[in-house]
Structure 1
């Protein structure tokens, strides 16, 4: 089995959080959380800028805005690569935006928000632009029609039902759905450029849970399977850096020992933290790239 030596950060012990009392001339120990807090501050700045760029929009989806409905038939295995690369094109005239071009996003708590809509062609262009695969030799998928419907979208305020265009495809029963909301009304976070020499520190949270009135936030993430009382184990806590629009969650890891050679195995772990006030409509962001995390509101 492959062995893995975990990196030094984030590695927190009680001693590391205290000022060193060594001999004269020694520098005080640096709190390893300071760098993560500064990183979180930059994340909040970028998020605030993204909200302002979207005119203060309240729709902040988590993840992709395209859904595949159904499974590819065995004979259409190459269609998956075409879709991943954004190789899609209309084989017939597609509907324009409805008139008036306004739709409504509805959250599970009944909150509603009107948003501008785009045409089926416009949503198709967004779908194609979202492609990330390399499939220059793939045949494009042929879209034969579209209808305006709705789809459920994870957001920073919990699941929401959003207007969507549903496309039929030539040669398959699979359909594609794409959110029909005008991009100007969507908050999309752009991570900072990757720096191979200075990768972002921290553990990325995957989801968050809270209640309407509570100031407690429980987050999930991938960590070590065992507690810190066992070799290669770890315990976890978390803290938040907050603004009026978002909170960034920092996960703190307390390892059994530093620089242990451990199996590269992860498990879902969780931690609960206290916010300065209930979350409200603020987004929950992970610290490594500043991307929004999926939120569940339990009551």
Structure 2
């Protein structure tokens, strides 16, 4: 499996007790041990794939609404400047006044196949707080109003038209869109979660960060510690699922700071992703998009 580190996606450092154990500090793993670990990890991935096949979780996944694209979308006209783009990426977005509340409680997700699903609608104030969460110094965008409309988004069942809050921005003719309906609850995995670090060095895949236009590669955020050279993500493909099994490379002996780091890794697929579910071998759950 050809994988490579793409770029650091803003290091997320989370204090943990015993992170040296999690990072495998002092393991002194030999090449033979690494081969054994790889076989054990692939076996775990196969167990997860087999458990998913025909399960209640697979049925729930096929019937639910699970976004696989950004739920906050920039204006269609594009950003006027790099400063505005930076303000959006940092969440430096303020309101010129109080946003209205809504009496709408349900919205309909519509797929191209003709299938529909009703989902709860998020209040526009709560939607705003999900992307306008920083009001520090520097460039900023200003929301001047909001109304309910629609947008399209990639989901686990293909492209769907969904209700969206259309936030007017000062100086822009097209709105900032934010999906107004909540995703379905992730189904309970049919396989039991493996404890972190217990399955021959298996680590978690935190989230799906993107899918190539042709569906033949994924960008995922994998976790590792401060005493190694970074994550490695392998994949087991079946007709129904893409199971990712992650580990770390270059674990070193000695003192290790207590932190978990997320890093972008690109994973190549033999076949386009299409409507297959992406599963994490450690948790046995679908890998969420954007956390």
TM-score interval w.r.t. the shorter chain?
A: 0.5 to 0.7
Query: Residues 153 and 159 of structure 1 are in contact (CA less than 8 Å); yes or no, is this contact kept in structure 2?
Result: yes
Per the alignment, residue 109 of structure 2 pairs with 105
Q: 1:73 corresponds to which residue?
A: 80
Instruction: Check whether the contact 1:108–1:160 (CA below 8 A) recurs between aligned residues.
Output: yes
- From the superposition, tell whether residues 59 and 268 of structure 1 become closer, same or farther in structure 2 (CA, over 3 Å): closer
Cα distance change of structure 1 residues 151 and 288 upon mapping to structure 2, 3 Å threshold: farther
Aligned-pair CA distance for 1:137: 2.4
Given the superposition, is the C-alpha separation of residues 35 and 238 from structure 1 closer, same or farther in structure 2, using an over 3 Å criterion? closer
What is the alpha-carbon distance in structure 2 between the residues aligned to residue 35 and residue 248 of structure 1? Answer: 14
* Structure 1 unmatched runs, 5+: 1-5, 8-25, 46-50, 210-217, 223-235, 252-266, 274-278, 294-299
- Unmatched segments (≥5 aa) in structure 2: 6-31, 52-56, 188-193, 219-233, 246-265
Structure 2 CA distance for partners of 1:292 and 1:207, relative to 1, 3 Å: farther
Q: Deviations over 1:217-261 (max 9, x none)?
A: x96127xxxxxxxxxxxxx9953497xxxx33359xxxxxxxxxx
Residues 111-141 of structure 1, C-alpha deviations (whole Å, 9 max, x = no match)? 1000111222121112235x8xxx9422432
- Superposed CA deviations along residues 146-179 of structure 1, whole A, max 9, x for unmatched, are 1111111111111111110011111333521001
Query: Equivalent residue of 2:146, what SS?
Result: strand
What TM-score comes out, normalization by structure 2 length? 0.52
Asked if 2 retains the 8 angstrom alpha-carbon contact of 1:57 and 1:186, the reply is no
Higher Cα radius of gyration: 1
Aligned counterpart for 1:89 among listed residues 88, 91, 94: 94
Seen in structure 2, the aligned counterparts of structure 1 residues 68 and 93 have a Cα distance that, compared at 3 Å, is same
How many residue pairs get aligned? The number is 205
- Please name the residue that 1:64 is paired with: 70
Check 1:35–1:268 CA distance in 2 against 1; reply closer, same or farther (3 A cut).
closer
User: Which has the higher relative contact order, 1 or 2, with Cα contacts under 8 A spaced 6 or more apart?
Assistant: 2
1:220 equivalent to 2:216? Answer yes
Q: Which residue of 1 aligns with 2:120?
A: 116
Q: Deviations over 1:242-287 (max 9, x none)?
A: 7xxxx33359xxxxxxxxxxxxxxx9964249xxxxx9x8733366
**TM-score between both structures, scaled by the size of structure 1:** 0.51
CA deviation profile, 1:15-44 (whole Å, cap 9, x unmatched): xxxxxxxxxxx99x7372421443676799
